[in-house]
Structure 1
Amino acid sequence: MYLAEAKKITIVILGAFLNAIALNFFLIPANVYSSGFAGLAQLISGMLDFFHAPFSISTGVLLFLLNIPITIVAWKKVGKSFTLYSFLSVALLTLFMELLPVKELSPDIILNAVFGGVIGAVGVGFTLKFGASTGGMDIVAMLLSRVKDKPIGTYLFAMNGLIIVCAGCLYGAEKSLYTLVALYASTRVVDAIHTRHEKLTVFIITKKSLELKTAIHAKLVRGITMLPAKGAFTGEDKEMLMMVITRYELYDLEKIIEEVDPQAFVNIVETTNVVGFFRKD
């Protein structure tokens, strides 16, 4: 358990560092925007400078401040472990952004957009893959999935759309187009490392259905459907557990299965839509 937690913390640190590199060395110097709360923090910081405000706040500090109210709500509604790692990721990202200089490595805006999007996405993708998050919209996604089954993509699209429009207003239409390039590159890389679907259907065939059900319910707020199953070759009686989870819960579920029944057969299927009740109180 300690080894797993140490591995998780290491990934969170690495993810935050990669995101800081992407922002300070590629996106911020080129006035190309990231997605989600990081892009929103860039936008607010840029607007303060653009309109010659009497004070300025760095992108890293703004990102930290934007995440505070979300983190407080998530601590009560989502769970302490997920929220703690998410806040740690945001705090480390802020720290790395303050320590690293904002420096332009290349005057080529296409290189800045592509490499900024890809490097940041590698950090985000691996952070999600190991059961943590980078805060911001990831926490909003978890909150929405626990309160009501609403597609997070709609909100993310609206926020990114606002960022793109404002980028065009401040720095010209060309910056908006390059921001789109960065967002596209980022999305593709995160999809390749983790998963592009917000929801996943998991089928678990096991001999330890009761132990597995108890362990899953202790960790996740998800309903489970239990079905009888029988091995075709062995003729052994087993049970199949079917459940729908969000992509943010995939790591925790995999660890539970590995601990309770490493011999279980698991099939994870991408889910495009869910109709009906999608949570367990």
Structure 2
Amino acid sequence: MLAIAIGTGIYAFGFVAFNMANHLAQGGVAGLSLISYALWHIDPSYVQLLINIPLLMIGYRFLGRRTFIYTIWGIVSLAVWIWIFQRVSFTINIGNDTLIAALLAGVFSGSGIGLVFRFGGTTGGTDILAKLFQIKKGIPVGRMLFIFDSCILALGSIFKLC
């Protein structure tokens, strides 16, 4: 559980310090929370919790007890870390280099999520839906995540242009 909390902390840091600070789109539930933040200024930590509740209810049957418990921990831990990092004042000066910001967001997100996955957890979201599609329709998880993330990134790009 500690490793999952550390992983979600690393992920949340990248999310707040690079995605949110530089208005970078992201896939998954995190991307949807960024869109809601841009449109209505709703705290992304709350949006992620709200979106994940019905997804957890859907995924309960498919995740298995251990993964389900670790996923609840991952979801709550991520929301808490995002909430904390939004309230801590820090500045990372990378100039106006969006590419560096995107790369750093990816490094922190990938490292954090990798740690969470390595210790049997998830952060919920579209991972649950992708797993459901794999079980019910035989569609690989990676393909479904690509489809979900592409749609959410496209949506995020549209709202960034407005």
* 1:37 and 2:29 correspond: yes
The runs of 5 or more residues in structure 2 that have no matched partner are none
* 1:110 and 2:108 correspond: no
Separation in 2, partners of 1:168, 1:70: 24
Residue matched to 1:148:
137
Aligned mate of 2:42, from 57, 64, 72: 57
Separation in 2, partners of 1:77, 1:163: 24
Between the two proteins, the alignment pairs up a number of residues equal to 158
Residue matched to 1:76:
61
The percent identity for this pair of structures is: 23
Residue matched to 2:155:
166
Equivalence map 1:1-281=2 (5 Å): 9-48=1-40, 56-101=41-86, 104-106=91-93, 107=95, 108-172=97-161
Task: Name the TM-score, length of structure 1 as normaliser.
Answer: 0.52
Separation in 2, partners of 1:140, 1:28: 25
C-alpha contact 1:41 1:59 (8 A) present in aligned 2: yes
Note closer, same or farther for the CA distance 1:104–1:113 as it changes in structure 2 (3 Å cut).
farther
Specify the code of the residue in structure 2 equivalent to 1:164. Answer: L
Q: Displacement, 1:160? A: 2.1
Separation in 2, partners of 1:23, 1:130: 21
Q: Highest CA radius of gyration, 1 or 2?
A: 1
Structure number with higher strand proportion = 1
Which structure would you say has the larger RCO, counting Cα contacts within 8 Å and 6 or more residues apart? 2
C-alpha contact 1:90 1:134 (8 A) present in aligned 2: yes
Note closer, same or farther for the CA distance 1:60–1:71 as it changes in structure 2 (3 Å cut).
same
Residue matched to 1:182:
none
Structure number with higher helix proportion = 2
CA-based RMSD of the aligned residues comes to 2.0
The runs of 5 or more residues in structure 1 that have no matched partner are 1-8, 49-55, 173-281
Separation in 2, partners of 1:159, 1:73: 17
C-alpha contact 1:26 1:104 (8 A) present in aligned 2: no
> SS of the residue aligned with 1:100?
helix
Report Cα offsets for 1:10-65 as digits up to 9, x if no partner: 210111101110111111010112221111211222122xxxxxxx3111111111
